[in-house]
Amino acid sequence: MEYRFGNSKKVKELGLTCDLTCPKCTKKVNFSVFSNSESRLNADFPFVKSGNVYILVCPECSSVFTVDENKAKTFKKGEKLAIGNFDLKEPKAFEV
């Protein structure tokens, strides 16, 4: 499965999470965290409609998850533990 993040210049990499277990491949990984403030990125990327979007990508299986904005903001301040396993959310299904 391929995910596009639109204009890569506007995607910020925020760093890596602490060790989390990927819900998809069940491996212990450090997810890469990205943010984007575009209101619209790409038709393939359903949850980018407004405000900031935070995206976590599993380095093993490339699954994509999202987290609450307030969790991601805390993470951004350097609190790596702000994002835990229970915070991973499946991206919403594509809406036309």
* Site of interaction with Zn ion (CB under 5 A): 22, 24-25, 58, 60-61, 63
Contact (Cβ atoms closer than 8 angstroms) between residue 17 and residue 76: no
Closer of 58 and 83 to Zn ion (Cβ): 58
Contact (Cβ atoms closer than 8 angstroms) between residue 72 and residue 10: no
- In the complex, what is the shortest distance from the CB of residue 57 to Zn ion, in angstroms, rounded to a whole number? 9
Closer of 50 and 85 to Zn ion (Cβ): 85
Distance between CA atoms of residues 48 and 60, nearest Å: 24
* Number of CB atoms found within 10 A of residue 35's CB: 18
Closer of 52 and 87 to Zn ion (Cβ): 87
- In the complex, what is the shortest distance from the CB of residue 71 to Zn ion, in angstroms, rounded to a whole number? 19
DSSP annotation of 7: S
- In the complex, what is the shortest distance from the CB of residue 11 to Zn ion, in angstroms, rounded to a whole number? 20
